[in-house]
Amino acid sequence: MRFGCMSAACMVMVLMPALALGAKAAAGPAATQPSVEQWGVFDQSFPGPATGNPFVDIELSARFTLGNQTVTAGGFYDGQGQYRIRFMPGGQGQWNYVTQSNCDQLSGLTGSFRCVAATGQNHGPVRVQHVHHFAYADGKPFVPIGTTCYSWVQQPDEIEERTLASLRASPFDKVRMCLLPGKQPPLFYPYAKDDAGKFDPSRFNPDFFHHLENRIEQLGRQGVEADLILFHPYHKGEMQWFDEMDDAGDDRYLRYVVARLSPYRNVWWSLANEYGQVKNKTDADWDHFFQVVESADPYGHLRSIHNAARIYDSNKPWVTHASIQNGSAVADFGRAVLYRELWPKPVVYDEVCYEGNIDRRWGHLSGREMVERFWFGTIAGTYVGHGETFSNPQKISWTSEGGELMGQSPPRLAFLRKILESGPPEGIEPIDETYQTHVGGKAGEYYLVYFGTEQPTTWKFALPRDPPNKNALTEGMQFHVDVLDTWNMTITPIERVFTTDKLVESVFPAVDDPAIPLPGRPDIALRIERIK
C-alpha cells in the first residue's frame, strides 16, 4: 500500500520524471556532514509530503552499507514536511545508504558518510558481557550505578538543567526515565492534539521528541545511560488513553520511538514500569512489544521490563537482563543471589525503595540502608538502583522530577563505584553462595567480604573455595587485604601478606591463622586481592 503517494505533496514529486527514476542524491546536508564517530549519530533530513497524516501514511527506512555489512534503519516524520533518517554506525569506514519508502519522493535517495574512530567518553552502547555483567561495545566494563528520575524530561528547563548538573556530580551512570507523562501534566506531550483539542494517538508531537533527544544526548555526553521506560500505569485524566491505545496505536508508538531514539548509543529499553499494573495488557502483549522493539532496533539495545504484581519471565529470549523491583531482595544476605541463579543474564534490582523522609514506607530509607542494599546486591553478583524521595519546599523529588540530590548515599555509592571499577573487569561473582553469603569476587584473584550491620572487631582470614572453579584458589597463594569502611569511605591496608594454607573443608585459612582487626562498626567490608 502506498498511501503516502496519494497525498497532494507527493503527487507533485511523482510527476517529476528526473527524480522518479530510482537513485537520487540526497539533499545538501549529507555533503556537509563530513564524518560521524563510530557509535555516533548520522542524521539526515529529507523534504516530503506534509499533508494527510504522514505519521501513518508514509513508510520510510534506509539501508546502510559498509563493505559486506548492511543495516536497515527506520526513518520517521519529524513534522513540517521534514522526514529524517538516523543511524548509529557500528564500524569505521565509508557508509553508503539508500532510502526505501512508499512515497516516491522519499524512495531511492542515496548518500554516504565516513565513520571515524570514537573519541573521548564514547565507548559505544552497553552490552551484556560475562553472562551477568555489562560492558560497552569497545570492551570497557560498565558498572551500573543507576538511579531513577521518572519525569525529569517533562520539567521546566531550569529544573532539567539542575538535574543534569546533579547527575554530573553524582556516581550515577544510568537513569530510568519515562517517555509518557505521569500523574502530573507535563510541559510537552508526545502526541499532538486534533482540531477538537483532544490528543490524537495517530499524530506524534515532534517538539516533544526534539526536547527528549537533546536530553538523551546530554546524558550521553555525561556518561549516563538513558534507561527509557516505554509504558507505565500512571496515566490520569486526559492522559488516561496512553494506557489504552489499540494494538495498532501501541505498535506505532513503539516503532516511532525506536526509529527516533535507537541511534543514541546510551539508550536502553525498559518496556514498562510496574508492567503488571498496566491495565488491558496481557503477558502476550508484553511478549509482542518486546518483539516489536527487538525487530525495529537494528542495534540491539538492552531490553528489560520492570515488575509489580507479577514478575515477567526473564528466560524469554528477548529479555537481555532482569530489571527487578524488590527492596527486600537486597535488604539482607543471601537473597539477591537467588534470582541471579535462575537466569544466565544480568540481574539489576532497579527499584529497592528510596532514600528519603516521606510518609510512605517505600520512601524513607536511610542513606545507610540504601548503601547497604547496593553492597548486598554487589556481593551477590547483581546490580542495584538508587532513588530518592525527600520532602522539600520546592515540592519536587529526585525520583519523580529530578532537581538536586539531597541524600547521604550518593558519595558512598561513588566510593562503591570506584571500588568496582578498579576490581576485576569480569565483574563480581558470588563465591560459594549457598554457604558463604558474605563473599563475592573473582575466584582465586579478588574477594569482597561484606559485614552489613554486623560489627565484628576481628576477622580470621579464610577464603571459600568456589565450587564451580575448584582449582582457582589453592594453597600457597598470597593476598593483600584492605579494610573498607563503606560509609566513611576509607580504605585501610593491612600491612602483612596472607598466604593461603591447606584447605579445611571448603575454606582456605591463611598460614599462622591470622586475625584481622576490624573497627567494630557496621558497614565494613574487606577487599582481598591476590598479589602472588
User: For binding to its own copies (CB under 8 A), which residues are involved?
Assistant: 309, 311, 313, 315, 326-329, 331-335, 338-339, 341-342, 359, 361, 433-435, 437, 468, 505-506
- In the bound state with its own copies, the residue whose beta carbon lies nearer, of 298 and 327, is 327
Residue 31 parent element (H or E)? helix 29-32
List CB contacts of 335: < 8 A, sequence separation 6 or more. 328, 329, 376, 380
Least separation, in Å, of the C-beta of 365 and its own copies? 12
List CB contacts of 247: < 8 A, sequence separation 6 or more. none
- In the bound state with its own copies, the residue whose beta carbon lies nearer, of 121 and 328, is 328
- In the bound state with its own copies, the residue whose beta carbon lies nearer, of 271 and 324, is 324
Alpha-carbon span 267 to 152, nearest angstrom: 16
Least separation, in Å, of the C-beta of 134 and its own copies? 22
Closest CA to 243 of 258, 232, 230, 252: 232
- In the bound state with its own copies, the residue whose beta carbon lies nearer, of 160 and 432, is 432
Closest CA to 369 of 406, 336, 335, 327: 327
What does DSSP say about strands 126-129 and 133-136: parallel, antiparallel, or unpaired?
A: antiparallel
Least separation, in Å, of the C-beta of 321 and its own copies? 16
Least separation, in Å, of the C-beta of 311 and its own copies? 5
Least separation, in Å, of the C-beta of 343 and its own copies? 9
Least separation, in Å, of the C-beta of 466 and its own copies? 13
Alpha-carbon span 208 to 286, nearest angstrom: 25
Burial class (CB in 10 A: 0-12, 13-18, 19+), 170: buried
Burial class (CB in 10 A: 0-12, 13-18, 19+), 25: exposed
- In the bound state with its own copies, the residue whose beta carbon lies nearer, of 156 and 467, is 467
Residue 389 parent element (H or E)? strand 388-389
Query: What's the per-residue H, E or C state across 176-236?
Result: EEECCCCCCCCCCCCEEECCCCCEEEEEECHHHHHHHHHHHHHHHHCCCEEEEEEECCCCC
Amino acid (one-letter) located at 451: F
The total number of residues shown for the chain amounts to 532
Least separation, in Å, of the C-beta of 309 and its own copies? 8
Least separation, in Å, of the C-beta of 433 and its own copies? 7
Alpha-carbon span 162 to 92, nearest angstrom: 36
Angle CA 394–396–399, to nearest 5: 155
- In the bound state with its own copies, the residue whose beta carbon lies nearer, of 25 and 338, is 338
- In the bound state with its own copies, the residue whose beta carbon lies nearer, of 18 and 504, is 504
- In the bound state with its own copies, the residue whose beta carbon lies nearer, of 422 and 453, is 453
Query: What's the per-residue H, E or C state across 103-142?
Result: CHHHCCEEEEEEEECCCCCCCCCEEEECCCEEEECCCCEE
Alpha-carbon span 249 to 268, nearest angstrom: 22
* Three cell numbers, residue 85: 533518517
What does DSSP say about strands 388-389 and 490-493: parallel, antiparallel, or unpaired?
A: unpaired
Least separation, in Å, of the C-beta of 349 and its own copies? 11
Closest CA to 384 of 328, 436, 315, 442: 328
Least separation, in Å, of the C-beta of 440 and its own copies? 14
- In the bound state with its own copies, the residue whose beta carbon lies nearer, of 56 and 503, is 503
* Three cell numbers, residue 118: 570514537
- In the bound state with its own copies, the residue whose beta carbon lies nearer, of 177 and 370, is 370
Least separation, in Å, of the C-beta of 307 and its own copies? 9
The separation between the first and the last C-alpha atoms of the chain, rounded to the nearest angstrom, is 69
397, 183 contact by CB (below 8 A): no
- In the bound state with its own copies, the residue whose beta carbon lies nearer, of 35 and 328, is 328
Least separation, in Å, of the C-beta of 426 and its own copies? 19
524, 485 contact by CB (below 8 A): yes
- In the bound state with its own copies, the residue whose beta carbon lies nearer, of 23 and 342, is 342
Least separation, in Å, of the C-beta of 279 and its own copies? 15
What does DSSP say about strands 388-389 and 355-356: parallel, antiparallel, or unpaired?
A: parallel
**What Rg value do the Cα atoms of the chain yield, rounded?**
26
- In the bound state with its own copies, the residue whose beta carbon lies nearer, of 319 and 419, is 319
Least separation, in Å, of the C-beta of 261 and its own copies? 31
- In the bound state with its own copies, the residue whose beta carbon lies nearer, of 199 and 435, is 435
